[in-house]
Amino acid sequence: MQRSADPEVACPVAPVVDIVFSRWTTPILWALHEYGRQRFVELERRLTSITPKVLTQRLRQLERDGLVARTYYAEVPPRVEYEITELGAGLGPLFAHLATWADANLPAVERARNAYDARSRA
């Protein structure tokens, strides 16, 4: 059997992982899912270590992917709000499952790391 060098063919979830789990995507989607529609500055306050430039880039990519909707209000001053789309909200069960897995298994991961590091130092 011939193996494909294309990771998208070899692993059908690879494109999803690239979209959803790239840096800052998950925290942005979680914040919009958890707290609803928000302005840019509200997202900045919730995600304290993200730069405005990176937040703008990630929001644009999420909008392009159909996971986030951007609404512009022609007011003085102009107002822009972001919210998770139905497509983005569909990831909620995935995130819930991952949170359950994390609660149950991250202590074991930490123990494994500590044991590995102790062996590596020996």
pLDDT in tens, the chain (122 residues): 455 566 556 788 888 888 888 889 999 999 999 999 999 999 999 999 999 999 999 999 999 999 999 999 999 989 999 999 999 999 989 888 988 999 999 999 999 999 999 999 87
Spatial CB neighbours of 109, under 8 Å, sequence gap ≥ 6: none
Give this prediction's pTM.
0.79
**Would you say residue 115 lies in a domain?**
no
**Would you say residue 19 lies in a domain?**
yes
**Would you say residue 33 lies in a domain?**
yes
**Would you say residue 61 lies in a domain?**
yes
Contact 68, 87 (CB under 8 A): no
**Would you say residue 41 lies in a domain?**
yes
Where in the sequence is the domain holding 74, given as residue range(s)?
A: 7-90
**Would you say residue 97 lies in a domain?**
no
**What local confidence, expressed as pLDDT, does residue 32 receive?**
95
**Would you say residue 112 lies in a domain?**
no
CATH number at 61 reads 1.10.10.10
Pairing of strands 68-73, 79-84: antiparallel
Contact 20, 98 (CB under 8 A): no
